[in-house]
Amino acid sequence: MTYQIIGAAMAVHRELGHGFLEGVYGDALEIEFKEKMIPYEREKMIEIAYKGNPLKHHYQADFVCFDSIIVELKAVDCITSSHRSQLINYLNATQYRVGLLINFGESSLKYERFKN
């Protein structure tokens, strides 16, 4: 499943290159997901729990694909440890066990896969 998501992201990056804002890549990736019939929810609100108690604030995932994979998009010069920490924290605080951090901001697509 992650292979399909990364393939869709590669198609977007091949077409658009780098230099656009994150939202542009999200719009294009949504088109790719539809064409490749990858099930997704965009900007999905995800409940965060603390010691089993739901918190008032929620996390908004860029995409959740296959009802099981958080996809976090970036359009930055390079992925930083704070980007990685953010996704790892979301995985730790939710029921999701796999996350993809995808960066469209570099000359070639960069991605990292995380498993909780």
Architecture of domain 2-115: Alpha-Beta Complex (3.90)
Q: Residue 75's beta-bridge partner residues? A: none
Q: What does the pLDDT read at residue 104?
A: 98
- Summarised one tens digit per residue, pLDDT across range 10-61 is 999 999 999 999 999 999 999 999 999 999 999 999 888 888 898 999 889 9
Q: Where are the domains of the chain?
A: 2-115
Q: Given its phi and psi angles, is residue 33 left (phi above 0), alpha (psi -120 to 50 degrees) or beta?
A: alpha
Torsion of CA 84, 86, 88, 92, to 10 degrees: 170
Backbone angles phi, psi at 55, to 5 degrees: -90, 160
pLDDT band with cut points at 50, 70 and 90 for residue 116? confident
Task: Kindly state the tokens that stand for 39.
Answer: 């099930």
pLDDT band with cut points at 50, 70 and 90 for residue 5? very high
> Max CA-CA distance within the chain?
44
pLDDT band with cut points at 50, 70 and 90 for residue 81? very high
